[in-house]
Structure 1
């Protein structure tokens, strides 16, 4: 019979099994926690997650029809780095609470602008001399070096400035779909950089506004190259002064006012008021770009012109008004050689200017700065007064 073997090894502690189970459970919970967290992170980072909010429909459908539709929302709206990602998730929770409590602000606006760092995850501005038409060259690196942020020029690239266009009110959320988003992004003036933004920035920073600074072709329209353009451009301006002003307003050394498109509201409010609007003749005398040519004495103005100019003026007085005024007005230039310093009243003074005391004998009291109004025509003949005076002016 074999001798019984005595094992003197110590017995394992009783609590080792308990800790093993606890560790396994902890590991399991951690795995589940991180899996749920990862799934939540991935889910909340999806652009479709943004669309799940009723209030975000305008932003989602405009983004879906933009040039950035393949770029996820979080790629632009979250700055690089784990800390910024965490902040964005906290902000998402806050927004969800505000939505539930109906305390969010409308229209929805971003709490902060898109940073250059978000754009530069895809774009390298230092090798991006970009042109759309082959004519317009934008040196992005020079703008970057001057501290111009991407969003200053490209604010409408993803959403077409719909908040500024008053398209994100709560009553309109149900109307938004993919077709609405497509229509909202169809107008280039809300999506692409606007030339007015470029000009305003250049003027504020005292940078050249010459066409050649950004355009390689000089931007001369085909109609301007026609031989007949010099003789007929005034007629073209009479038909569509807004098109002329679109380019030439930025070529004037002096600011131009009164040529902006009148809003429908202003038209309605002023419909009962007769207000002399500025026209292409005023424009030719106010825009210093036009004056460069209009100051040059025409060949027709020879030595015999004085004796015949009255007959010619009667045939086409409007052509005279492109350079001259009937009387001195605010449209006159101050350059020494300006032909617009010569007025009809320079040689043909009115009876008012010959008789300085006419106001004293006027049957109705007249103030020193009295302007022409419709009341004057109660007694006076409108055609005769209007031949020299404009309503609302001295």
Structure 2
């Protein structure tokens, strides 16, 4: 039997092999870069950053901010492939630290956000007036003077939670959208505050006149009426005092902390009810020197010749007296040293025990406990304590 002839397949040409290898290489490169781009896209998202337990405070505050749609890398990584590559390598390092629990807490930025990151979206040359309308903020002039964006806008995205000590491990589990919204609702940590402007202007010896930063005269319409000047401003509610503070706090030559209270976020974390300030109008006018400048002057009603004998009947509302005066003599009288007890020691009629505001025993004698309300100098004109009697003997 004749052997069948086997058709010989010619060996592939060199050009064919090259095309084959080139095709495989191109496919590999496409797949590699596709996965790389997907990886970069994934690791650049807010959700990826929030997957780390310790980044939840930053994530939930960002979602409640005006920059909620901006990815983290837009501000935290400089543009360019090299910077992205460095960020990815740093991410691997941080991932290792997370797994080994060797990262530093609380999380805090090692460097400030550069102006270039802000200027990718915001044009400093055209930002002359802020969104509030009345405030004049020439951003171009501030930039010329070397003022960096974060000096005024440090809390825009995260509400300064690191400085507020809200990023400790013990609180990670408490963070959610509700807490993030609560934290970011406290605008004094979010928006530029007048305190920042005033401190900077004073340090740089720049004018602090209202018209330098405000288009209007800043005097509310209700302040311009004669009725308001004559006394209506004293009828404001205590809850309205914080509104007054926005302007009048800068008019006081002495600093005070009447309105200091725990912030909303702290009360939320401790499951406490939030409440408003308990500062009274009387306490305020005795503390703010802007008020004292007027209230420290002797009123016209006090200048009549019969005032000394008739002042008890001049006013039906005796509480008005305590805007300036105290009921008893104190060493730190805020407005005037003339107090009720200066001329009016306690009445010693037969019925004085019944009228005494505090129950006392029938055989109660004068002692140091009386000085909680009474004035020692006045009392000792007639009274002596048992210890005084023994010392005299």
Query: What is the TM-score normalised by the length of structure 1?
Result: 0.66
Kindly indicate whether the alpha-carbon contact (under 8 Å) linking 1:327 and 1:388 is maintained by their aligned counterparts in 2: no
Pairwise CA distance, 1:315:
6.0
Mapping of 1:23-38 within 5 angstroms? 33-38=32-37
Partner of residue 378 from structure 1, selected from 359, 365, 368: 368
The answer to whether structure 1 residue 59 and structure 2 residue 49 are counterparts is: no
Equivalent residue for 1:287?
288
Residues 49-99 of structure 1, C-alpha deviation per residue, up to 9 Å, x if partnerless? 223333323322332332222222111111234443333222212211111
Counterpart of 1:129 in 2: which secondary structure? coil
Equivalent residue for 1:133?
132
The answer to whether structure 1 residue 77 and structure 2 residue 66 are counterparts is: no
Kindly indicate whether the alpha-carbon contact (under 8 Å) linking 1:158 and 1:191 is maintained by their aligned counterparts in 2: yes
Counterpart of 2:60 in 1: which secondary structure? helix
Mapping of 1:9-20 within 5 angstroms? none
Residues 1:91 and 1:297: Cα distance change in structure 2 (over 3 Å): same
Equivalent residue for 1:228?
227
Equivalent residue for 1:311?
312
Equivalent residue for 2:360?
none
Residues 1:260 and 1:69: Cα distance change in structure 2 (over 3 Å): closer
Deviates more, 1:277-286 or 1:140-149: 277-286
Equivalent residue for 1:268?
none
Residues 1:238 and 1:182: Cα distance change in structure 2 (over 3 Å): closer
Pairwise CA distance, 1:175:
4.9
Counterpart of 1:134 in 2: which secondary structure? coil
Return the alpha-carbon distance in structure 1 between the equivalents of residues 242 and 306 of structure 2: 34
Return the alpha-carbon distance in structure 1 between the equivalents of residues 238 and 113 of structure 2: 44
Counterpart of 1:126 in 2: which secondary structure? coil
Equivalent residue for 1:158?
157
Pairwise CA distance, 1:388:
8.9
Return the alpha-carbon distance in structure 2 between the equivalents of residues 246 and 290 of structure 1: 14
Equivalent residue for 1:336?
none
Equivalenced residue count is 331
Counterpart of 2:56 in 1: which secondary structure? helix
Counterpart of 1:300 in 2: which secondary structure? helix
Equivalent residue for 1:261?
260
Equivalent residue for 2:248?
248
Return the alpha-carbon distance in structure 2 between the equivalents of residues 239 and 22 of structure 1: 79
Return the alpha-carbon distance in structure 2 between the equivalents of residues 245 and 60 of structure 1: 33
Return the alpha-carbon distance in structure 2 between the equivalents of residues 74 and 214 of structure 1: 34
Return the alpha-carbon distance in structure 1 between the equivalents of residues 378 and 246 of structure 2: 30
Counterpart of 1:215 in 2: which secondary structure? coil
Kindly indicate whether the alpha-carbon contact (under 8 Å) linking 1:281 and 1:321 is maintained by their aligned counterparts in 2: yes
Return the alpha-carbon distance in structure 1 between the equivalents of residues 377 and 242 of structure 2: 26
Equivalent residue for 1:45?
44
Kindly indicate whether the alpha-carbon contact (under 8 Å) linking 1:242 and 1:259 is maintained by their aligned counterparts in 2: no
Deviates more, 1:195-204 or 1:88-97: 195-204
Deviates more, 1:218-227 or 1:82-91: 218-227
Kindly indicate whether the alpha-carbon contact (under 8 Å) linking 2:256 and 2:287 is maintained by their aligned counterparts in 1: no
Residues 1:286 and 1:48: Cα distance change in structure 2 (over 3 Å): closer
Return the alpha-carbon distance in structure 2 between the equivalents of residues 310 and 151 of structure 1: 58
Return the alpha-carbon distance in structure 1 between the equivalents of residues 228 and 76 of structure 2: 50
Residues 97-143 of structure 1, C-alpha deviation per residue, up to 9 Å, x if partnerless? 11111112233222222111100111111210233332223222222
Equivalent residue for 1:113?
112
Residues 1:130 and 1:94: Cα distance change in structure 2 (over 3 Å): farther
Residues 1:65 and 1:348: Cα distance change in structure 2 (over 3 Å): closer
Query: What is the TM-score normalised by the length of structure 2?
Result: 0.66
Residues 363-388 of structure 1, C-alpha deviation per residue, up to 9 Å, x if partnerless? xxxxxxxxxxxxx9536465432999
The answer to whether structure 1 residue 95 and structure 2 residue 94 are counterparts is: yes
Pairwise CA distance, 1:288:
3.6
Return the alpha-carbon distance in structure 2 between the equivalents of residues 179 and 293 of structure 1: 46
CA RMSD of aligned residues (A): 4.4
Structure 2: runs of 5 or more not aligned: 1-12, 267-277, 346-365, 380-393
Equivalent residue for 2:349?
none
Kindly indicate whether the alpha-carbon contact (under 8 Å) linking 1:282 and 1:331 is maintained by their aligned counterparts in 2: no
Equivalent residue for 2:356?
none
Pairwise CA distance, 1:321:
5.2
Pairwise CA distance, 1:174:
4.7
